[in-house]
Amino acid sequence: MSGNSFGKTLVLTTFGESHGKAVGGVLDGFPSNILIDLDFIQSELNRRRTGQSLFSSARKEDDRIEILSGLFEGRSTGAPIAFLAQNIDHKTEDYAALKETYRPSHADFTYEQKYGIRDYRGGGRSSARETLARVAGGAFAKLLLNLRGISVISYIKQIGPFGIPGDFILHGLTEISKSQIGCPHPETELQIIDHLQKMKSEGDTAGGIISCIIKDVPVGLGEPVFDKLQADLAKALMSINSAHGFEYGSGFPCAATKGSENNDIFIKKDGKITTRTNSSGGIQGGISNGNDITFNVAFKPVPTLMKDQESVNKEGETIILKGKGRHDVCVVPRAMVIVEAMAALVIADHLVRANL
């Protein structure tokens, strides 16, 4: 199986399966002599951890990170940084009935057809458990970005049919931190919580949209033609489990506008050249222009339901798949830190490539 590494100069390779002994990664190309705050890295993993709300999986993993190499006396050495977290609360028996069955909208069928074998225990390599390694790698990347004054902020824009009004302006992190689920608009947050409670009572699930802002990115990141910054971000974000859409700047709605409405007019402000608006989402010609980089990622509803679904077994016979196990009602609240991690890895990779 190839395709387990991401990045060109700062490269993250992940390993492990949902019900294996551990999941982890190797981060290669990380600059030397960078002070590493392990408490911060653990706090990022804690944001992703299961069992923290009524709407997340009840699987209880402590996700304690173990650093195996690449650090000495609290600083990076320039060598590959290897890390892992043990799997301690996997219940393989919950998946025994799925050995001969293909779950709707999961990777069961495609994995088996491609590789001739699949780990049916929680999805194996296709499980979102793999994203733990992304969050850890992204936490290291954030430490690098922090040194350059760059921050990555995400929040819930929509879950199900309930979304933040289009004229909403985010003023600061406090608005996000006050929310139980990461939605900075109180009225929308209440609608979302009611919706998720309804989905849980019905044994159903919900999708949603995460908005992300990368602030204080220097001008000049991105490499035309195939390594455009938005292209690398799109690949990074669309590689996350359940991600079904990516847009940056004015996104898909710009298709309905006129050029005179969508263009970002250049102006001089505080002695610097910038733009009056930010329809470009901080990227022009595939290169960062100094404005905030803004994008949205859409996530599909969790395909595992706590209600009966029709499917087929390996023989193609119609069966009724019983809803059971420990699964999220909606992945979006836990996915916020994963979105930030992948975005941070992209920006950090381009910073290292540019020797900034």
Domains, the chain, ordered by start: 5-353 (3.60.150.10)
Instruction: Look at residue 57 in the predicted model and tell me its pLDDT.
Output: 60
- Check if the beta carbon of residue 120 is closer than 8 Å to that of residue 95: yes
Spans in the chain with pLDDT lower than 70: 51-60, 89-94
Q: Are 23 and 121 in contact (CB under 8 A)?
A: no
Is-contact 341 137, C-beta < 8 A? Answer: yes
Distance, CA of 354 to CA of 140 (rounded, Å)? 18
Rounded CA gap, 25 and 41, in Å? Answer: 14
Please report the pLDDT score of residue 331 as a whole number.
Answer: 94
Strands of the sheet with 81-86, listed across from one edge: 5-6, 11-16, 22-28, 81-86, 66-69
Closest CA to 295 of 274, 281, 279: 281
190: tokens are: 């209440």
355 Cα distance to chain centroid: 26
Single out the residue of 46, 89, 55, 103 nearest to residue 328, CA to CA.
55
- The closest alpha carbon to 351, from 26, 23, 34, belongs to 34
Is beta strand 309-313 parallel, antiparallel or unpaired with respect to 318-321?
antiparallel
Q: What is the pLDDT of residue 99?
A: 85
- Say whether 132 sits in a helix, a strand or coil: helix
Give the 3-state secondary structure percentages of the chain, helix then strand then coil, rounded to 5: 30, 25, 45
Task: Pull the structure tokens for residue 98.
Answer: 């799925």
Pairing mode of beta strands 11-16, 22-28 = antiparallel
Contact present, 219 and 291 (Cβ < 8 Å): no
**Which two tokens mark 132?**
């733990």
**Backbone torsions φ then ψ of 86, nearest 5 degrees:** -70, 145
pLDDT of residue 325: 72
The two structure tokens encoding residue 320 = 């009724």
Q: Tokens 């057809």 identify what position? A: 113
DSSP code of residue 79: S
Give CA–CA dist 121/94, Å, rounded: 8
Q: Report the pLDDT value the prediction gives residue 55, as an integer from 0 to 100.
A: 65
Contact predicate 221/347, CB 8 Å:
yes
Residues 6+ apart with CB under 8 A from 6: 12, 13, 236, 239, 345
Give the model confidence (pLDDT) of 210-230 as tens digits: 999 999 999 999 999 999 999
- DSSP, collapsed to helix, strand or coil, labels residue 60 as coil
64-70 long-range CB contacts below 8 Å, 24 or more apart?
65/38, 65/41, 65/136, 67/38, 70/27, 70/30
Token readout for 327 is 């699964």
